[in-house]
């Protein structure tokens, strides 16, 4: 799962003030359930600005941070290739450089050097040599793998288990420097050669080294090829001597796409299958995963989305394991109203059920109803104002616990060079087990929902300024709980674009 | 509660001093400690605030400036709190209003002899005519107790106001970051931030508003405020609030550029606050946008 900042890309601010009573009525109607004056529910929806391509993820509202596969990478500055990147944080009055990276592009070679500011110095550096025309890359030092099919990388310990079911993919992974010390990575060397367009020789990749967190030996080898309407891949490797392997295939046509990944490891065989119809008035997606171990091995996500031009709705139903022996199921409806010239109004309303077992309390069942609203109230030249509201109600044996939040976000842009986003939010939560969601901003431009179990006011400011090829950005946030304790943190990044690379 | 007992209860702890002042206000009135009032939360007891049952927020003027001409708004108010002799709030304000925005300064003092909270507030506000308008606030808050060193600090906040225009209806949505930045002195006095939210419907000079204030400790204080013109030169503001239950009313009369107003709040537990004010309005003041 990648960045989810598409709904919060404030550089796209355009338009004029909304002037229709319909828009206001919808905003108020959507706000009422979200702030707890009525039961949770959604009644209408609207069309996204653009239809995502096959395989692309689209979220109109931020996801809970625990459902994001690599939240630590969200603080990285936006943009892939940069001549220079530096990210630093300030917490409790102490400043620390988290990552410094520099690149140099020659005629046929791109040389990148990355240094993490955390952990042992011997495990902090990564150097990569990438052939611009040859497609050959060599990465040494601390490296991670990203973007491949999920089952094989899980099996060899190079990615975390995600709760959401991802799409199956047959692409080779991208070997690169980890963005943070918390990212899954190995200390070793990797080699990859991508398949050239139209060539018969498949792409190949390999890596070998020791996992940074526990020193486990990791080795992997894979090939990937493409044909007329699809691609295939095969991978084999070992984690601390335990073999693992996977094959993947991806088929695309005008009517839709389907992909499958089958993997084996010491846990047993695992399968991931995904299919989706082509973009159109009605779009259907389905994903199914069967792991090799655990009491509850199967998980699935089914979604249907569609609607007229200004209103779009997406229904998502899913279920899967929760913890070692538990199970979780969810059904949610996401709606979007997007009138011409005005910002969108997005609502997500859903219900989840989590079953578990503990030695202390035996079998437990927890049901939760939730709603998240992000309503753009008005926009003018270079400015936007949105109302944010969330509500969660947890039902358990101890009763119903409530949590809610309410706030606003102001977005300012300056001549396409600078942008500033200020968010303030107050949260309430029953102290005996209630939880509210708050909006968590990340310095890289993304937003995610963070669970808050105590009442308080949180304020965050995020901005970026572009001066020629240089970009300076950052995030400052402060929170307060019911005891008046304040915690503040800041993240600053500096980036210099490579010549000829637009950001 | 006497001055001596206040001193005895202070013990040098500033947080205790602040709590002692609030206890003086509430317990002295024979009330249960209300959950609404904490240190420096009673900030505006002018009639405009009493009518809006919103002593914990800065009040909106009952006669708004209209038209492009700049002008000066100045005034002062006095409020008697909870029928306790000597317990009052005095407040004075001055502001310069123009086509693009306004700059205002207000200072107030609340308390009894020997124990007072004082505040000075500077606000820079953009014109409401914009679709999205901003306001920045800076406050100096001080607590003074006889025999104790004066303590206080700075607080900063801001408002964002969005406005929709319908055919004959204006809708405003306000969200604020109230006192969200504070100096250490105020943290010791337990001054907490809050997020006030308001939705206002305006038509023909009348206004209906739903206002809520979410505190950092999880408290809410929703209220509904209605405002209407009476014979062109007078305006009536009525409010009903919860947590605590209270009703408020205020009447403002304009005589050329002079505004005279009076108001009161009645709380469900018996507390009464009354106030009056006199002020000079900008030449372009109307009340109908």
CA B187, B41, B84, B122 dihedral sign is positive
Which residues from chain B sit within 8 angstroms of residue A387, using beta carbons?
A: 173, 175
Q: What is the largest CA-CA distance in chain B?
A: 62
Q: What is the ipTM of this complex?
A: 0.81
Smallest CA-to-CA distance from B273 within B93, B119, B56 is with: B56
CB contact under 8 A, B177 and A387: no
At residue B66, the pLDDT reads 55
pLDDT tens digit string along A293-342?
A: 777 889 999 999 988 878 999 999 999 888 778 889 999 999 999 877 67
Q: Rounded to the nearest 5°, which phi and psi values hold at A72? A: -65, -25
* Cα(A8)–Cα(A423) distance, integer angstroms: 12
Residue that the structure tokens 């300012």 belong to:
A412
Is residue B160 less than 8 Å (CB to CB) from chain A? Answer: yes
Residues of chain B with confidence (pLDDT) below 50: 1-20, 22-36, 287-289
* Cα(A47)–Cα(A68) distance, integer angstroms: 25
**Cβ(B194)–Cβ(B38) under 8 Å?**
no
* Cα(A452)–Cα(A166) distance, integer angstroms: 26
Residue A122 DSSP one-character state = G
At residue B68, the pLDDT reads 52
CB contact under 8 A, A486 and B187: yes
At residue A91, the pLDDT reads 82
Per-residue pLDDT tens, chain A, 503 aa: give them: 333 333 333 333 333 333 334 444 444 443 443 333 333 333 333 333 444 444 555 678 888 888 887 777 788 777 656 789 899 988 877 888 888 999 888 888 889 999 988 766 667 889 999 988 888 999 999 998 887 567 888 888 888 877 788 888 888 888 888 888 888 889 999 999 988 777 778 889 999 999 988 889 999 999 988 888 889 999 999 998 899 999 999 999 888 999 999 999 888 899 999 999 988 888 899 999 998 877 788 999 999 998 887 899 999 999 988 877 888 999 999 999 987 767 889 999 999 998 888 777 788 888 999 999 999 998 888 899 999 999 999 987 778 889 999 999 999 998 888 999 999 999 998 877 788 998 888 888 888 998 888 888 899 999 999 988 899 999 998 866 555 566 788 999 999 887 655 44
- Which among B153, B216, B222 is the top mutation candidate for probing chain A, defined by the most A β-carbons within 10 Å of its own β-carbon? B216
Residue A27 DSSP one-character state = H
Buried b (16+ CB within 10 A) or exposed e, A182-206: ebbbbbbebbbbbbeeeeeebbbbb
- Which among A484, A485, A487, A490 is the top mutation candidate for probing chain B, defined by the most B β-carbons within 10 Å of its own β-carbon? A484
* Cα(A234)–Cα(A152) distance, integer angstroms: 10
* Cα(B214)–Cα(A428) distance, integer angstroms: 8
Cβ neighbours of B104 (radius 10 Å): 20
Cβ neighbours of A359 (radius 10 Å): 5
At residue B3, the pLDDT reads 38
Radius of gyration of chain A (CA): 23
Is residue B130 less than 8 Å (CB to CB) from chain A? Answer: yes
* Cα(A116)–Cα(A126) distance, integer angstroms: 9
CA distance A25 to chain B (A): 11
Q: Where are the beta strands (DSSP E) in A397-469?
A: 399-414, 418-429, 436-441, 447-452, 456-467
Six-digit token string for A282: 């009605």
Is residue B168 less than 8 Å (CB to CB) from chain A? Answer: no
* Cα(A455)–Cα(A451) distance, integer angstroms: 11
User: Could you tell me the pTM of the whole model?
Assistant: 0.80
Is residue B129 less than 8 Å (CB to CB) from chain A? Answer: no
Six-digit token string for B123: 């606000």
**Cβ(A188)–Cβ(A175) under 8 Å?**
no
CB contact under 8 A, B197 and A21: no
Secondary structure class of A12 (helix, strand, coil): helix
CB contact under 8 A, B217 and A459: no
CB contact under 8 A, A424 and B217: no
pLDDT tens digit string along A246-265?
A: 999 999 988 899 999 999 98
């Amino acid at each position: 799962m990648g960045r989810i900042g598409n709904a919060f890309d404030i550089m796209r601010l355009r338009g004029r003030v909304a002037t229709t009573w319909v828009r206001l009525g919808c905003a108020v109607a959507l706000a009422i359930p979200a702030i707890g004056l009525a039961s949770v529910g959604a009644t209408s929806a609207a069309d996204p600005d653009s239809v995502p391509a096959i395989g692309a993820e689209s979220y109109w509202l931020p996801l809970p941070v625990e459902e994001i596969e690599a939240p630590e990478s969200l603080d990285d500055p936006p943009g892939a290739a940069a001549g220079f990147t530096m990210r630093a944080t300030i917490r409790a009055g102490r400043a620390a450089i988290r990552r410094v990276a520099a690149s140099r592009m020659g005629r046929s070679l791109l040389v990148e050097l990355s240094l993490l500011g955390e952990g042992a110095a011997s495990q902090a550096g990564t150097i990569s040599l990438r052939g611009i025309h040859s497609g050959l890359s060599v990465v040494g030092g601390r490296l991670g793998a990203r973007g491949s099919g999920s089952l094989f990388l899980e099996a060899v310990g190079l990615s975390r288990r995600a709760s959401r079911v991802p799409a199956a993919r047959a692409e080779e992974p991208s070997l690169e420097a980890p963005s943070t010390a918390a990212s899954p990575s190995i200390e070793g060397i990797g080699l990859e050669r991508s398949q050239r367009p139209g060539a018969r020789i498949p792409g190949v990749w390999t890596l070998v080294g020791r996992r940074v967190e526990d020193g486990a030996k990791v080795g992997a080898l894979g090939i990937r090829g493409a044909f007329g309407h699809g691609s295939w891949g095969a991978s084999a490797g070992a984690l601390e001597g335990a073999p693992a392997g996977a094959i993947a295939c991806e088929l695309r046509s005008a009517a839709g796409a389907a992909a499958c990944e089958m993997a084996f490891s010491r846990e047993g065989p695992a399968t991931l299958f995904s299919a989706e119809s082509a973009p159109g008035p009605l779009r259907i997606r389905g994903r199914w995963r069967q792991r090799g171990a655990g009491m509850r091995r199967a998980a699935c996500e089914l979604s249907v989305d569609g609607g007229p031009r200004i209103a779009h709705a997406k229904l998502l139903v899913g279920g899967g394991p929760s913890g070692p022996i538990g199970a979780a199921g969810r059904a949610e409806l996401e709606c979007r109203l997007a009138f011409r010239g005005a910002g969108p109004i997005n609502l997500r309303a859903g219900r989840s059920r989590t079953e578990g077992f503990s030695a202390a309390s035996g079998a437990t069942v927890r049901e939760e109803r939730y709603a998240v609203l992000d309503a753009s109230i008005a926009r003018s030249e270079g400015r936007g104002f949105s109302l944010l509201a969330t509500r969660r109600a947890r039902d358990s044996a101890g009763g119903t616990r409530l949590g809610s939040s309410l706030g606003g976000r102001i977005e300012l842009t300056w001549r396409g060079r600078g942008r500033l986003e200020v968010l303030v939010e107050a949260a309430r939560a029953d102290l005996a087990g209630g939880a509210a969601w708050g909006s968590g901003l990340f310095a890289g431009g993304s937003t995610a929902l963070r669970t808050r179990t105590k009442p308080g006011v949180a304020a965050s400011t995020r901005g970026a300024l572009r001066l020629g090829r240089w970009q300076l950005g950052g995030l400052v946030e402060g929170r307060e709980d019911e005891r008046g304790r304040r915690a503040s943190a800041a993240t600053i990044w500096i980036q210099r674009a490579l010549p000829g690379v637009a950001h | 509660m006497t001055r001596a007992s206040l001193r005895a209860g202070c013990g040098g702890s500033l947080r205790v001093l602040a709590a002692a002042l609030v206890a003086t206000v509430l317990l002295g009135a024979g009330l249960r400690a209300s959950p609404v009032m904490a240190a420096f939360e009673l900030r505006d007891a002018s009639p405009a605030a009493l009518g809006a049952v919103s002593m914990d927020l800065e009040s909106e003027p009952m006669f708004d400036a209209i038209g492009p001409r700049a002008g000066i708004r100045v005034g002062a108010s006095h409020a008697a709190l909870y029928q306790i002799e000597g317990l009052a709030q005095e407040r004075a304000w001055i502001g310069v209003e123009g086509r693009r925005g306004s700059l205002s300064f207000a200072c107030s003092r609340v308390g009894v002899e020997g124990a007072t909270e004082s505040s000075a507030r500077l606000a820079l506000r953009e014109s409401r005519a914009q679709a999205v308008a901003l306001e920045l606030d800076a406050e100096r808050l001080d607590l003074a107790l006889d025999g104790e060193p004066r303590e206080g600090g700075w607080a900063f906040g801001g408002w964002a106001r969005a406005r929709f225009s319908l055919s004959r209806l204006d809708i405003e949505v306000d969200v604020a970051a109230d006192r969200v930045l504070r100096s250490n002195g105020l943290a010791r006095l337990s001054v907490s931030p809050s997020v006030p939210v308001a939705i206002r419907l305006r038509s023909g000079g009348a206004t209906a508003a739903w206002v809520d204030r979410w505190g950092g400790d999880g408290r809410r204080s929703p209220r509904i405020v209605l405002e209407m013109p009476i014979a062109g030169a007078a305006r009536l503001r009525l409010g009903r609030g919860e947590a605590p239950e209270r009703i408020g009313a205020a009447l403002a009369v304009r005589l050329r550029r002079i505004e005279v107003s009076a108001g009161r709040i009645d709380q469900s537990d018996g507390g009464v606050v009354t106030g009056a004010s006199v002020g000079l309005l900008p030449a372009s003041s109307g009340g109908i946008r």
